[in-house]
Amino acid sequence: MSATSSPRRTRCSLLVALLVFFHGQSQAADSLETIGDKLAIAAALAQYSYRWDGKDAAGFADIFTLDGIMERWLAGSLVAGSRIVGKQAIQAYASLSHQGRLADRQTRHHFSGLVFLELSSTTAITENMALITHQTAADRVAVLRNSGIYRNNWRKTESGWLISKRVLFTDSFAPR
């Protein structure tokens, strides 16, 4: 490469060289497929926040399988009434939440620390940390309302990777 090659051209050349190097190696092909699946799941997870926080109940439900489940746990126990089963029920819950308890506020789901606990060609389990904030017209700044760990079970479908079960393990602290 000449000294006048652009950084973009250099990166493209490197990518082509890597693809040529790995061509025909099944282990590398599996790695590329795995990377693609991880990126697709991460993109779908980002939609969780945007659709919920954008009060798009139908779009939010679309990231779940038809038999999808949502639950919330606190201090090692399932929170009473928090288990929602089925895409239609998830959409109804989201719609009721957006028009009711969340109507006067902007929510934000701040996700970080995405880890893959399991990953196959058709299923995955991920965890990520979450800070959930709310802000009303009366609030100068957003207020932290919740925090915890989301554990998502994923299923690869014709529509892409969808959540089959979402569990929020809400942070709790028991004084010693």
Q: Is residue 45 part of a domain?
A: yes
Q: Is residue 130 part of a domain?
A: yes
Q: Is residue 95 part of a domain?
A: yes
Q: Is residue 3 part of a domain?
A: no
Provide the pLDDT for residue 25. 45
How many domains does the chain divide into? 1
What is the domain-level CATH number for residue 121?
A: 3.10.450.50
Q: Is residue 53 part of a domain?
A: yes
Range in 14-18, 110-114, 132-136 the model is least confident about: 14-18
Distance in angstroms (rounded) separating the CA atoms of residues 142 and 89: 29
Q: Is residue 100 part of a domain?
A: yes
Q: Is residue 34 part of a domain?
A: yes
Is the Cβ–Cβ distance between 144 and 110 less than 8 Å?
no
Provide the pLDDT for residue 1. 47
Instruction: Please write the tens of the pLDDT for every residue from 118-140.
Output: 999 999 999 999 999 999 999 99
Range of the domain at 93: 26-170
Q: Is residue 135 part of a domain?
A: yes
Instruction: Please write the tens of the pLDDT for every residue from 82-106.
Output: 999 999 999 999 999 999 999 999 9
Q: E-strand spans in 15-170? A: 64-74, 77-78, 84-85, 105-119, 123-136, 143-157, 160-170
